[in-house]
Chains A and B, each alone.
Chain A
Amino acid sequence: QSVLTQPPSVSGAPGQRVTISCSGSSSNIGAGYDVHWYQQFPGTAPKVLMYGNINRASGVPDRFSGSKSGTSVSLAITGLQAEDEADYYCQSYDSSLSGVVFGGGTKLTVL
């Protein structure tokens, strides 16, 4: 059971918009600790997408955006493309655990 909760899977058709949520608590996201997002393709290392909740990493298209509300953050992908099909993970810090935590991951399927 991950401290940060993500939906196991989301899907969308090409061109559509999807969102991936990352729900935490008062000891992590709610405490103001930044959330970072990663994209991982099968058999490869993760790649950073977003820093500090809303900031895109270098080279990441503006189809990707982040938002935060209370104890949750979301990653939105607009204009969905087949190449976006991957696993997505959120990451933050948890003061109760005194450590870095990841969400369980969300598999994005492009229909």
Chain B
Amino acid sequence: QVQLVESGGGVVQPGRSLRLSCAASGFTFNRYGMHWVRQAPGKGLEWVSFISYDGSKTYYAGSVKGRFTISRDNSKNTLYLQMNSLRAEDTGVYYCARGQGFLTGSDYWGQGTLVAVSS
């Protein structure tokens, strides 16, 4: 069955960096685009970034553009999110989610990993 397992979250000081990973299994990873979506405590969902199936196309929300980098290693069935210059407002649960394409819905989601940016 399809599984997406995020890791790499934790507590980090403002201005520091963190890299999240999402290990995929149960499907042909290199045929699907992937999203990162986050949710601040008690708030709604916020789209963060998308990468195409082959990594050739990437898209970012304005709030993270220039600070976050999405990437993937299809040989390892793993999605990444490199987060630099972290701010308090980046705090939340980060989910990876599978999507056929950039505009399609996400049919499978991971359980999320919590990132807390605090001094």
Interface residues in chain A, defined as those with a beta carbon under 8 Å from any beta carbon in chain B? 2, 33-34, 36, 38, 40, 44-48, 50-52, 57, 87, 89, 91, 93, 97-105
Interface size on B, residues (CB 8 A): 23
Instruction: Give, as a whole number of angstroms, the nearest-CB distance from B63 to chain A.
Output: 10
Closest chain B residue, CB of each to CB of A58 = B107
Among the listed A47, A48, A52, A104, which residue makes an inter-chain contact with B44, where contact means beta carbons less than 8 Å apart? A104
Residues of B near A87 (CB, < 8 A) are: 44
Contact A51 B95, beta carbon cutoff 8 Å? no
Q: Is B75 an interface residue (CB 8 A)?
A: no
Q: How far is the CB of B81 from chain A (nearest CB, A)?
A: 15
Number of A-B contacts (CB under 8 A): 65
Given contacts A45-B110, A99-B62, A100-B103, 20 further A-B contacts (CB under 8 A): A36-B105, A38-B45, A38-B105, A44-B111, A45-B109, A45-B111, A45-B112, A46-B95, A46-B109, A48-B106, A57-B105, A89-B44, A89-B45, A91-B45, A97-B62, A100-B35, A100-B59, A102-B37, A104-B44, A105-B45
A45-B112, A46-B95, A97-B62 as given contacts; A102 in contact with B47, CB under 8 Å: yes
Indicate whether B32 reaches chain A with its CB closer than 8 angstroms: no
- Chain B residues with Cβ below 8 Å from A44 are 111
CB 8 Å contact bits of B21-38 with A (1 = contact, 0 = none): 000000000000001010
CB within 8 Å of A: which residues of B? 35, 37, 44-47, 50, 59-62, 95, 97, 102-107, 109-112
Residue from A51, A52, A93, A104 within 8 A of B102 (CB atoms): A93
Task: Quote the shortest CB–CB distance from A42 to chain B (angstroms).
Answer: 10
Return chain B residues, CB-CB under 8 Å to A104. 44
Please indicate the chain A residues that have their CB under 8 angstroms from the CB of B47 in the complex: 91, 99-102
